[in-house]
Amino acid sequence: MKNCLVVDDSKVIRKVARHMLESLDLSVREAVDGQDALTQCEASSPDVVLLDWNMPVMSGMEFLQALPGANIAARPKIIFCTTENGVGHIKAAVEAGADEYVMKPFDRETLESKLAIVGVI
């Protein structure tokens, strides 16, 4: 079973994402910010990370920048989640290393299509 790390400071969003991901047969772990996510990735790297943009302590962007220097067995695929759909914003995320991008709120089908694009399902 593939593993997904949901990184979001909102408990509600983590819960909704967990529900969708579990229904797609993924096992789910949660992190509350980028720093927490980095620690968890170092402990055991997930197949895919669903990454929020705005978070306290360490933002999604800072997480992406820290990822190459972290001690992670295999680089997970990154699906970036944001509330902004400006093209500059999307390009910045992709340039920083995000594999996919999804705007909140998203539904199960959308998430499923993104997981298929990054090759996780």
Partner 1 sequence: MKAVTSRASSAMGEGIRALSALLEARTGQVLSQDRQWRAETALQPVLRAHGLSDVEVLAAHLARHRDMRLEAQVVDALLNNESSFFRDHQVFEMIRGQVLPDIRARRADRRLRIWSAGCSTGQEAYSLAIQLCNDAENWRGWRIEILATDISATAIHRARGGIFPQMDVQRGLPVNDLIQWFEPVAEGWRAHGRLRGMIDFRQDNLLDPQAPCGPYDLLLCRNVMLYFAQERRGRMFDLLKRHSHEDSVLLLGAGETAIGHGEPFVAHPDFRGAYRLPSCARGPARFPLRRA
The reply to whether 113 sits near partner 1 by the rule CB under 8 A is: yes
Indicate the residue among 52 and 99 with the shorter CB distance to partner 1.
99
CB of residue 22 to partner 1, shortest distance in Å: 20
The rounded distance, in Å, linking the Cα atoms of 12 and 75 is: 27
**Residue number, 70 or 121, with CB nearest to partner 1:** 121
Place of tokens 């593939």: 2
Q: Which two tokens stand for residue 119?
A: 């090759």
d(CA 85, CA 17): 19
Q: Which of residues 72-111 bind partner 1 (CB under 8 A)?
A: 85-87, 90-91, 94, 98-103, 106, 109-110
Q: How far is the CB of 116 from partner 1 (least distance, A)?
A: 4
User: Is residue 38 a contact partner of residue 65, using CB atoms and an 8 Å limit?
Assistant: no
Structure tokens at 81: 């989640």
* Binding string, residues 18-57; x marks residues near partner 1 by CB under 8 A: ----------------------------------------
Q: Tell me the closest approach of the beta carbon of residue 113 to partner 1, in angstroms.
A: 4
Alpha helices in the chain (DSSP H): 11-23, 34-43, 60-66, 87-95, 108-117
Asked if 34 contacts 62 with a C-beta cutoff of 8 angstroms, the reply is yes
Where on the chain is the footprint of partner 1 (CB under 8 A)?
A: 85-87, 90-91, 94, 98-103, 106, 109-110, 113-114, 116-117
